Amino acid sequence: NPYAELVARLRAAWLSGKTRPMEYRVAQLEALGRFLDEKKQEILEATALDMGKPRFEAEFSEIILCKNELHETLNNLSHWMKDEHVYKNTATRLDSAFIRKDPYGVVLIIAPWNYPIHLFLVPLIGAIAAGNCVIVKPSEMTKNSEKLVAEVLPNYLDKDCFAVVTASVQETTRLLENKFDYIFYTGIPSVGRIIMTAAAKHLTPVTLELGGKNPCYVSDTCDVQNVAQRVAWGRFFNAGQTCIAPDYILCSVEMQEKLVVALSKVVNDFYGSNPRESPDFGRIVGDKQFQRLYALLCSGQVAIGGETDEAERYIAPTVLVDVLPSDPVMQEEIFGPILPIVTVANMDEAIDFINSRERPLVVYAFSSNSKVVNQVLERTSSGGFCGNDTLMHVTLTSLPFGGIGSSGLGKYHGKFTFDTFSHHRGCLHRNMGMEVFNALRYPPYTQQKLGMVRAASEVKRKGTCTLL
């Protein structure tokens, strides 16, 4: 077991209590802040090399959003760490009853390649804030980012308690044989199953941030230009390699026509007449992914884009129309700059379409009519939801971010990350004396005692009057 020693070392560090004091956690978190500040250029360069990520996009997703999570955590950590005192009943009125936030111990964070800094760093912030020791396994797909994290990050953090491990798929399997106290995985459902099965052997709790096909319903009553801008932005950001990107559009035949015109203009506004020359449009991360995406293009009809360049791993911002549910592009999460449009008769058909498929990470609905947006929200199930925009719901640290069904298990961002990585321990601290109060519960049992025990501990049903 090549990782046994590392895991044992971190477990010993955790048992020593080193990570418990708030000052320690704050110091580590501040060091992460310095990593983001001092290594910003290196981060922007690495992600540019790995997948042609435009600097603006990298700075926004890999630096700014991470710093927000960091500041949110530092601003609130002392409050989050405090014991939460809870409501007591008659029997416990004189006691101390509270929820203690304990760390789990040694946490494993496995990150994917599409936002290679953000998707390990944001969980790491919460894991450190909650007092854990952490092993980070960055993605082996994005070699420049992986090297940056493996070589540079350990210099910022306490090496007794935090480590970065670089590992191939087989090596990760060996890593998972070890007992961790929490595993946080971001990636695809098929690997999520493998992770959870490995975790089950040790009864290790997990958070799995997975994916799926995020539907985007566009009703007939909307501002077509605005919709086109917001959907194009969400779809083509990072060349489509975003777990919460709108995966496909559902709309009427009439709306499809209007949207194509609007989307064509938007793509031009964003990237110019030849997006390949735009510095603001990314590339596909690797040859295998490029080939996979290339194969999806023969679905429906190419209405916008469709050009590719294998050497550059370039796929043009593409819109496909009249796509059928049986087409290749509708069989898997796209994870590229291709936006299929599937026509439906009306909102009910769109909702049925969504509900007959796996529950996605996010459902999008566009309508000037709030009732339509609310209906789609009400009658579907997904990790998250955004009405009249794409991606934005995950930039609010006060909203939980996570999937349901095959799109995932668990949630994070903001305080939810801290809560994910803490064990909420129910605690009662009673008085050594005052034994007379306990006498009612002891044998020999009598009806009278039972009546009094009930009176002391029962929760009554409150009246159902509503104050008008």
- Residue among 82 and 424 whose Cβ is closer to its own copies: 424
The token duo for 395 is: 């930039």
* Nearer CB in complex with its own copies: 144/268: 268
Least CB distance from residue 327 to its own copies, whole Å?
25
Q: Shortest approach of its own copies to residue 60 CB, angstroms?
A: 7
Phi, psi torsion values for 201, nearest 5 degrees:
-60, -30
Print the SS3 string covering 67-121.
Answer: HHHHHHHHHHHHHHHCCEECCCCHHHCCCEEEEEEEECCEEEEECCCCCCCHHHH
Contact between 216 and 248 under an 8 Å Cβ cutoff? The reply is yes
Cα–Cα distance for residue pair 68/73, rounded to 1 Å: 8
42-47-53-54 Cα dihedral, nearest 10 degrees: 0
Coil, helix or strand at residue 52? coil
Cβ nearer to its own copies, comparing 60 with 156: 60
What CA–CA distances, in Å, run from 357 to 244, 247, 324, 325, 408? 16, 13, 14, 11, 15
Q: Which residue, 186 or 299, has its beta carbon nearer to its own copies?
A: 186
- For the bound state, the minimum distance from the C-beta of residue 261 to its own copies, rounded and expressed in Å, comes to 17
Q: What CA–CA distance (Å, rounded) separates 251 from 379?
A: 17
Q: What is the DSSP letter of 138?
A: -
Q: What tokens appear for 269 in the block?
A: 């506004």
Active-site annotation, residues: 209, 243
Distance CA 171, CA 184 (A): 17
Q: How many CA atoms lie within 13 A of 86 on its CB side?
A: 13
Q: In this complex, which beta carbon is closest to its own copies, that of residue 249 or of residue 329?
A: 249
Look up residue 335 and give its amino acid: F
Paired strand residues for 340? 320
List Cβ neighbours of 7 (8 Å cut-off, separation of 6 or more).
106, 135, 178, 179, 180
Q: Say if strands 215-218 and 248-251 run parallel, antiparallel, or are unpaired.
A: parallel
In angstroms, give the least distance from the CB of 438 to its own copies.
7
User: Residue 208 corresponds to which tokens in the numbers above?
Assistant: 């799995």
Q: What type of residue is 128?
A: I
Alpha carbons 171 and 174: distance in angstroms, whole number: 5
Q: 27: Cβ–Cβ under 8 A, 6 or more apart, which residues? A: none
Separation CA 341–CA 343 (nearest Å): 6
CB of 411 to its own copies, least distance (A): 6
Q: Give the tokens for residue 116.
A: 């290679």
Instruction: Name which of 2 and 272 has its Cβ closer to its own copies.
Output: 272
CB of 82 to its own copies, least distance (A): 13
Environment class of 87 (CB within 10 Å of its CB; exposed 0-12, middle 13-18, buried 19+): exposed
**Least distance to its own copies, CB of residue 150, Å:** 28
Q: Which is nearer to its own copies, 121 or 329 (CB)?
A: 121
CB of 287 to its own copies, least distance (A): 26
> Toward its own copies, which CB reaches closer, 82 or 454?
454
Nearest distance from C-beta of residue 286 to its own copies, angstroms = 24
